[in-house]
Structures are given as C-alpha cells and as structure tokens.
Amino acid sequence: MNNMTNIVSDGIRSSNSIVSPAIIYLKKALKLNMSEIMDEILSIKSNNVKLLYSVKACSNSEVIKYLSKYVSGFSVSSTEEYRYIKQFKNKLISATGFNFSNYLLNKDTIFYFNSIEQLQTFLKSNEYKKIAILESE
C-alpha cells in the first residue's frame, strides 16, 4: 500500500468512535497532498506559480488555518469569505463574483470582474488596485 492509502486506512480505523454522519479531515493526508503539490511547483525553477486555495471548496476554519501554511493566498467569491481570509496577513487574495466596497480593500488583493458593470461600479467607489480583465472566448 502507498503512503496515502495507509494514512486513509489509519484515519478510518481511528474514526470508529465518531458518530455518523460526520466529515473527517485527516491532517496527515492534507500535509502529504500539499507537500506533493509544493514539490511539483518548486521542481520547475523558472516558474512564478502562486498556489491559491479556493475557500468555496471547503470553508472549514481549521482546514483553512492549516492550509494557510502552504498556500500563497486564497481565492474568495463572497464578502463573508473575504472578511474571514483577511486575518491571514501577507497572503494574496483573488476576489471575484461579488460587489466590492471600500472596507474590503487590501494591498494584496487582486480583483476579477464578471462584467463591465461590476468593473465600473468598483472604479467609482474605490481607488485603483490591481485589476485583471479576462477575455472570454
């Protein structure tokens, strides 16, 4: 059996006393996955890849705190996600899909806009920040 299989098997055995239904996060599995991803990213010397975690994928605060040790930043798509993620200092934040207002601004935030109207609203109420305009096909 490979290392991940052993980690998951041990996790299942140790969870027998947990009342079901339950969601179980295995730190060892998260650590192994993150180590493998980081090894792949770092193996390419000339890249400038920044690994961001999508808060929408799993918003469990303990998981986010744990993953914050590994990622360059976070991707958020709601005001609530943004407010929570702001506590992690010196992390990039990619924000898209919601209305941005002055209290959200942070120098490490990159905003992505879903429409021209969203961009225009942002520009009226905020000073210039990093902005990405994506072209759809």
What residue spans define the domains of the chain? 1-45, 50-137
Q: What is the dihedral of CA 54, 58, 59, 61, to 10 degrees?
A: -110
pTM summary value: 0.73
Model pLDDT for residues 58-77, shown as the tens digit of each residue? 999 999 999 999 999 999 98
What 3-state class would DSSP assign to 45?
coil
Classify residue 90 as left (phi > 0), alpha (psi -120 to 50) or beta: left
- Provide the pLDDT for residue 111: 74
What's the CA gap between 76 and 82, in Å, rounded?
6
Are the C-beta atoms of residues 71 and 38 closer than 8 Å to each other? no
- Provide the pLDDT for residue 63: 93
CATH number of this structure's domain 50-137, picked from the four choices 3.20.20.10, 3.40.50.150, 3.30.420.40, 3.40.630.30? 3.20.20.10
Q: What is the dihedral of CA 109, 106, 82, 53, to 10 degrees?
A: 40
What's the CA gap between 84 and 93, in Å, rounded?
11
Enclosing H/E stretch for 12 = helix 3-14
